[in-house]
Amino acid sequence: MTRPIAIIGAMDEEITGLREHMQIEAEYKQAGLVFYEGQLAAKPIVLVRCGVGKVNASICTQILADRYQPAAIINSGAAGGIHPNVDIGHIAISTTVLHHDFDTTALGFQPGSIPFMDSSLFLADTHLVQLTQAASENVFGAACTHTGLVVSGDQFISSAEQKQRIGQQFDALCAEMEGAAVAQAAHLNDIPFVIIRVISDRADASAPENFAAFLQSVLPGLTRVVETVVEQA
């Protein structure tokens, strides 16, 4: 059996477009999650809404690994822009991912470092990154397509202080709430992954308002990008 590509979104809004475009053949339920099994762009996929935050994302990714041994994992959704060039409506593609809220600096470890793991900076699959970059440049244009570090934490970033701290500690494109957990679980299970995020807000005091205002309008372009990546992977 061909191993499927797994696609994870955190919220309903982040999987609805893909669910509408896929042919659903079966549903599997575990841990309060619904795994939609079927085809997208004539490729076998499994699509799931993991819920918000890193614990939900970790549990979901491990179930995917155990049940489907996916050929690749794509985590797609929205994010807050951290880098000054990364604005609302742009796309951020992970080359690397880390937890911005993992803090054992009091013990002498670097910010974001997970003690005693072989790596805390998770490397996305270069082929998936290249495919995503090409697809995004087609849909959004090169000026709105960014590759680099995506950081995650169990926080919705919504103040200048939080944004500044993350920007100073890490050279991050954007912040979101699941990617590093997906990346860590994918790394531990030897599964290639990429995190693909569309920017819904600037991760500052205007973020709650912008997130609500722009989420629905920025997601359809992301759906097109993910569909193209699945088609070409």
- The residues binding ligand ADE (CB under 6 A) are 78-80, 156-158, 175-177, 200-201, 203, 207, 211
Nearer to ligand ADE, 176 or 227 (CB): 176
- The yes-or-no answer on residue 178 being catalytic is no
Q: Tokens 């699509």 label which residue?
A: 47
- How near is the Cβ of 4 to ligand ADE at its closest, in Å? 26
Report the distance separating Cα 2 and Cα 227, nearest Å.
Answer: 18
In terms of phi and psi (left: phi > 0; alpha: psi -120 to 50; beta: otherwise), the region of 29 is: beta
Nearer to ligand ADE, 22 or 166 (CB): 166
Among candidates 15, 47, 6, 10, which has minimal Cα distance to 179? 10
Nearer to ligand ADE, 158 or 184 (CB): 158
Among candidates 74, 58, 92, which has minimal Cα distance to 178? 58
Nearer to ligand ADE, 68 or 146 (CB): 146
- The yes-or-no answer on residue 20 being catalytic is no
Report the distance separating Cα 171 and Cα 125, nearest Å.
Answer: 19
- How near is the Cβ of 41 to ligand ADE at its closest, in Å? 26
* CA 60 from centre of chain: 13
Tell me the three state secondary structure of residue 156.
coil
- How near is the Cβ of 131 to ligand ADE at its closest, in Å? 23
Catalytic residue among 37, 125, 178, 201: 201
Tell me the three state secondary structure of residue 45.
strand
Nearer to ligand ADE, 75 or 200 (CB): 200
> Do residues 82 and 163 lie in contact, with contact meaning Cβ atoms separated by under 8 Å?
yes
- How near is the Cβ of 200 to ligand ADE at its closest, in Å? 5
- How near is the Cβ of 7 to ligand ADE at its closest, in Å? 17
Catalytic residue among 14, 125, 178, 227: 14
CA distances from 78 to 13, 44, 67, 174, 218 (A): 10, 24, 27, 10, 8
Tell me the three state secondary structure of residue 14.
helix
Report the distance separating Cα 13 and Cα 37, nearest Å.
Answer: 18
Point out the residues that are catalytic.
14, 201
